[in-house]
Amino acid sequence: MKSNGFDGYLFLFNPYYKQVHRKILFDGKLNLKNPQKQGYWLLKEIYPQERFILFIEYNQTNEFLLDGQSVSIYQLIFISIIDQPILVGISGQAFLTNKNILIIDGVYGKAGTQTNNPISIILPNQDLIFNVLLNGIEKRFKQNNHIIILTDPLSFSGLYLPRSAEILNNTIMISDLLLKQLVTRQLEYSIQWTEKELNDASWLGPHRLLLFIYILNPNDQWNITAQINNNSIIVHKSYNTHDHYYQQRFIGFYLDLTNIVIQPNVQYYLSLNMPHMQPGQFQGLFLENIERILIEV
């Protein structure tokens, strides 16, 4: 944190495949001080998405949902002077027209989700607001001096597929937005990998849809077989090096679904034949190469 005790950065990292909840207490242990001046203390996400997400209070605990294998970067900002409306709780831009109409544009959220916390807008003055339009649609709201609070939560349609999406009940389903994301990435990163290169290094070819079989302390001598819709599929072995001769470099097993799971909103059924494991050793099945899927409200 900076020497004023108000401003600074927060880095949160989840190295695991499963989503995790992290609680952060904003107090002196983070070198924070309780602001004694008038203003607004805000937490802004700057990666992977840029947006103000919530108001901060000293000695307050906030909970963060971290996607699997993700990094999130936040900035704490204390703002004492407001010259333009500030949107808090969602991405987008807010501005005033005719002093009494609040326009909120460019609002996007993660597909298949709903906002849990109130959406607020900090105004530069206490002028009475008559209407709020969000992406062109009138919204209900209440006003408390400088603060506008939207009354209803926002819902974002589509299939929820977070980074490292977990596959439950051995059923795989993807969305057209994910397929579009993978195609776009291939066009932007158009390296012509050979099949051997892709098989030797699971981290190559970021346009691929991979499914990782998450096992603690896996053994590359195991024989694991898989079927999708009763059709056999190759189970690949992943190492953290191109050299596959060293067992200590073995990461685990994965499936390449790129040319198999190709239709959106269709259920694909996966069956696995795996060796006996210790309780808790098998951690689950997780899709790889998914970035945050955003959709307009």
Cβ atoms 228, 260 nearer than 8 A: yes
The C-alpha angle with vertex 88 and arms to 83 and 92, in degrees rounded to 5, equals: 85
CATH class assigned to 166-296: mainly beta
Report the alpha-carbon distance of residue 143 to residue 96 in Å, rounded: 15
Q: Which residues pair with 73 in a beta bridge?
A: 11, 47
Helix, strand, coil in percent for the chain, rounding step 5: 10, 40, 50
Q: What is the pTM of this model?
A: 0.89
C-alpha closest to that of 214 among 272, 265, 161: 272
Token pair for 205: 């070819």
Burial of 140 (0-12, 13-18, 19+ CB in 10 A): exposed
Helices marked H in the chain: 176-188, 195-200
Residue 46: left (phi > 0), alpha (psi -120 to 50), or beta?
alpha
Q: How many helices (H) and strands (E) does the chain have?
A: 2, 27
Sign of the four-CA dihedral 83, 41, 294, 203: positive
Q: What pLDDT does 245 receive?
A: 67
β-partners of residue 74 are 10, 45
In the chain, which stretches have pLDDT less than 50?
Answer: none
Amino acid at 198: L
101-105 and 93-97 beta bridge pairing? antiparallel
Beta pairing, strands 131-134 & 101-105: parallel
Query: Tens digits of per-residue pLDDT, 241-282?
Result: 876 667 888 999 999 999 999 999 999 999 999 999 999 999
* Structural domain boundaries in the chain: 8-155, 166-296
pLDDT value of residue 6 = 81
Three-class DSSP labels, 143-189:
EECCEEEECCCCEECCCCCCCCCEECCCEECCCHHHHHHHHHHHHHC
**What is the pLDDT at residue 134?**
97
